Structure 1
Amino acid sequence: MNKIASLLLFLLVLNNTYGQTTDLKLQEKIDTIINRYIKATNIVGISIGIIRNNKSYYTKGYGTIKLQTNKPVDSLTNFHAASISKLFTATAIMQLVEQSKLDINNKLIYYLPAFKMKDERVKDITLKQLLNHTSGIPDITDYNWEHPNNSKTALKHFVLPSRFSTLSFTPGIDIHYSNPAFDILGYIVERTANQSFEDYEYEKVLKPSGMTHSSFDLAKIEPARKSTPHIIDSTSKNVQISNVYPFNKEHSPCGTLNTCSSDLSKWMLEMLAIYNDSTNSYRGVIKRETLLQMWTPTHNIAYPGLFLCLAWWKRESKEYGNYFFHVGVDVGYSCSLTLFPDKGLGIVVLCNGDYPGLPVYRDIPLEIARLLTEKPR
């Protein structure tokens, strides 16, 4: 080998080694962030997925799938994703819009004539208002996790006939977070596609995105990959195993996606691939113009720089630029998914405890984002 070739080889090895060392140091810092919050909030198990520069960067599990066991969490450990599910329900709706089978500006009762209430204002609700929580459909507090209805007609029987008599407000004039609104949207998907909501989601949204370890049907998840939900005992204030798992097909569309950090990393990559497709050559689960429509603010809520879009939430930040996110919490679980599209960055955090709060929803993703976006000194 001549001297020039030897020098080129040396520089190539040096460059690769430097890059690996840099990444290892960053990943060690990420581990430090996660472990600090695990210790501070008594988290049993947590899994993260990070995409960077529009590529999968880091997926890892910490802790265990269940209290007082030694089975570790990994990137394929399954978690209840709670309200992150709404992003997938909204995507299904928008797929049907692209096929001209639905129009989000059309009235709800056009698609579901049997959806009736004593409140005549129900006739004014549009699909868009269901998507952005401005329909006036009240929320509920009891999801019947202890006695779920997992029959094939569960969703239909929850939605029809309407169990509400009065809207919380005139459609379109206010914002009120509504889980049943997304259950209604899921049933519209079911009727329009003429197949179960769970099957449609897997065939048309999850599988095409590479999310083959995920399902809205808990029975389809391999038992060995399931995590266990944890809560805080109201008396002792100690962490304990929940005696119920939050699953009920009546509420599949609003919050029963079961998934893992590996699969949600693929979902974030799918969203960024669509976002970056300026030539419209990428065949994604939705078109770029549809994603941009879903990311367009429809309302500015009470917090400066925070906007409500179609299922997604948008935050304007001087530090990170515009980013889009959704969080979720249910009995025994909490999670967050955050996308920074102009930085090619995405972070998902899944936790098998419902009690950490802001560390999962905000602090962990933003600390990691700060670490990965700050300029080297």
Structure 2
Amino acid sequence: MNLRAKYSFLCKNILLLPMIKRLKTTVFTCLTLAFACIQTYAQIPEQFKPIDQFIQQNMDKNHIPGLSIAIVNKDQVIFSKGYGKDGENKAIISSTPFAIASLSKAFTAMAVMQLVEAGKINLDAPVKQYIPSFKMADARADKITVRQFLNQTSGLSDVVYPELSFKQQPASTKNTIDNLKDVELDSNPGETFRYHNPNYHIMAHLVEIVSQEKFADYLQKHIFTPLQMTHTSSHHSTLEFQRKVPQGNIFVFGQAVKTNEPNWFIEGSAGLVSTTSDLAKWLRLYLNKGEYQGQRLLSEKGIETMFSHPANSSYGLGWFVDPQKNVSHSGVFWTYQAEQMILAKEGYGIVILFNSGINAFQDYHSFMLGVSNILTNQAAETSFMNDSMYELLIATFIIITLILTVFSFRNMKMWVIKHRAKSSWVIISKNIVRLLPLVLLALAPTLLTLISHRVLSWERIFLMAPSVIIWLGIVAFCNLMVVVSRSIRLRSRDNF
């Protein structure tokens, strides 16, 4: 074989053939994926394609890492799909587990109502009748009824019992009862709606006392098993459920960042881990007035009771009720979010589970609102402002803050000369204005409590709005440095 023939053989067999094979493999893979996507889209019934498009567009705009949705009528699941990846980088499907947070309250309410229908609990009897150990440093507490706890009108609130800020969380529902012994009520029982998770810790303990079963065991036996909810479980704390679910996400400057959920006692109020495939069965139970595949878990009247609310609020027993009799509830964690809704007139149930949590700039409810609008033949409106735009604004504010700080230091000498002859109160007042961001940062927990009536720890505030807190921290620090530097220079010139 001559040199030219050897070279031709080398190119063909050693270089070109492997390249051609790799190219074929790549093209085949791309075509397969493309065909799979087209086939998946084609499999979606025509009436649900707008929902699919809406969800994908809204996810992309807001950088949502993953979600799962199921839509049901009373007979079957009519739409179900997973989007994105979970914390272990696996594709999300209908059996992917999510922490469902406060969607758990409706399960607790259902358990109480089952015991009501069994003749073991009277909704309008004082809780103390069933839990003699329930005592508070307030005589009014002896009259709080079971219904008032379920309606969140017990008189308890985060202001008097700030459970979200406790470093030492309760270890059991009994611990919650014990911790309330030195607490006074925020308002008269039945008078004011205050959303407060320990109301449902107490209800979980009530279920345990009356049924003589552990709360998790009761749910498994009387709700999960009859509904064939094989991927659903109840947990005491966020530390416990994190063994069952992949890490969720917070948002830092619009980007999803995996992190662990802060420790929090959640039994009865927010302790369930579930899937959209399981929660589809849960919603069908309600659409069938308390019955699922021939098994009755609650009477039709019992379901009506759960959807009844007092005159002073729209909160029933574990559900919010709107004027059109639609019922819904959100579930909020720092790394997970959940939404469920039943459209009463149209006969649809919707559940959407997210693997990212509460954030100042994320509007998870817009997903539910858009989907429900499409189902009721309305436009799925989306806000012009989205997560990316808000985060871009915060980043811009940070850059402007840093630029202004540099200018302040560059012009420091001129400022000192200009203010040397001015009265001290003028200088002090200007310094006070510069220190306002520091004061605002220090008072953030208090201000949030005044606005929301919820008490949050600094950790939870940061996880809820990292970019805002970072910006405020930079503004406060820069202004403090300017004030200190100006004060030192003014004093030096005065001494000179």
Any conservation in 2 of the 1:83–1:255 contact (CA below 8 Å)?
yes
Deviation for aligned residue 1:372: 2.2
User: Does structure 1 residue 87 correspond to structure 2 residue 106?
Assistant: yes
Change (3 A) 1:358 1:89: farther
Of 373, 377, 383, which residue of structure 2 is paired with 1:370?
A: 373
Matched letter for residue 80 of structure 1: A
Are the counterparts in 2 of residues 230 and 333 from structure 1 also a CA contact under 8 Å? Answer: yes
- Cα distance change, pair 161–220 in 1 and its aligned pair in 2 (3 A): closer
1:332 to 325, 330, 335: 335
Which one is further off, 32-41 or 97-106? Answer: 32-41
Equivalent-residue separation in structure 1 for 2:69 and 2:129 (angstroms): 41
Aligned to 1:30: 51
The aligned counterpart of 1:345 is 348
CA 1:112/1:359 → structure 2, altered by over 3 Å: closer, same or farther? Answer: same
TM-superposed deviation, 1:222: 11
- Under a length normalisation based on structure 1, what TM-score does the superposition of the two structures give? 0.80
Shifted more, 135-144 versus 162-171: the winner is 135-144
What is the deviation of 1:27?
A: 2.8
266-275 vs 251-260, which deviates more?
Answer: 266-275
State how far apart, in whole Å, the 2-side matches of 1:164 and 1:331 are.
29
Residue 210 of structure 1: how far off its partner (Å): 2.0
Alpha-carbon distance, 1:239 to partner: 2.5
The verdict on how the C-alpha distance between 1:190 and 1:149 changes in structure 2, with shifts beyond 3 A counting, is same
Find the counterpart in structure 1 of residue 94 from structure 2. 75
Deviates more, 1:127-136 or 1:35-44: 35-44
Is the CA contact 1:77–1:227 (under 8 Å) kept in the aligned structure 2? no
1:213-272: per-residue Cα shift (whole Å, max 9, x none)?
10103899896x723211134xx5642112336664xx2100011001111111001111
Partner Cα distance (2:360, 2:297) in 1: 31
| Map of 1:190 onto structure 2 | 208
The aligned residue for residue 314 of structure 1 is 321
Asked if 2 retains the 8 angstrom alpha-carbon contact of 1:229 and 1:352, the reply is yes
Residues 47, 74 of structure 1: 8 Å contact kept: yes
RMSD of equivalent CA atoms: 2.9
**Paired residue secondary structure (1:350):** strand
Q: In 2, Cα distance between the equivalents of 1:92 and 1:362? A: 27
1:241 aligns with 2:258: yes
CA separation of 1:53/1:256 partners in 2, compared to 1, >3 Å: closer, same or farther? Answer: closer
SS in structure 2 opposite 1:337? Answer: strand
| Code of the aligned partner of 2:177 | V
Give 1:253's aligned amino acid: G
Q: Which has the larger radius of gyration?
A: 2
Asked whether the 8 Å contact 2:151–2:315 carries over to 1, the reply is yes
Give the match's secondary structure for 1:342.
Answer: coil
Residues 41, 356 of structure 1: 8 Å contact kept: no
| Pairing of 1:288-299 with structure 2 (within 5 A) | 288-299=300-311
- Give the Cα–Cα distance (whole angstroms) in 1 for the partners of residues 95 and 162 of structure 2: 31
Q: CA shift at 1:328, angstroms?
A: 1.1
Are the structure 2 counterparts of residues 114 and 221 from structure 1 closer, same or farther at C-alpha, using a change threshold of 3 Å?
Answer: closer
What SS is found at the alignment partner of 1:59?
strand
Aligned counterparts of 2:304 and 2:47: Cα–Cα separation in 1: 31
Unaligned runs of at least 5 residues, structure 1 = 1-19, 302-306
Distance 2:148 2:269 in 1: 15
Which residue of 1 is the match for residue 297 of structure 2? 285
Percent of counterpart pairs with the same letter?
28
Deviations 1:43-87, CA, capped at 9 Å, x for gaps: 111111111364211111111102xx5311111111111111000
Structure 2: distance between partners of 1:21 and 1:239: 30
The structure-2 alpha-carbon separation of the partners of 1:70 and 1:109, relative to structure 1 and needing over 3 Å to count, comes to closer
Q: Give 1:269's match in structure 2, choosing from 256, 278, 284.
A: 284
SS of the residue 2:193 aligns to: coil
TM-score (norm 2): 0.62
SS across alignment from 1:28: helix
Distance (whole Å) between structure 2 residues aligned to residue 372 and residue 23 of structure 1: 15
User: For 1:205-220, what aligned pairs fall within 5 Å after superposition?
Assistant: 205-217=223-235
Deviation per residue, 1:317-338 (Å, 9 max, x gap): 4xxxx31011110120111110
Q: 1:226 to 1:165 in 2, by over 3 A?
A: closer
Larger RCO: 1 or 2 (CA < 8 Å, sep 6+): 1
2:167 aligned with 1:156: no
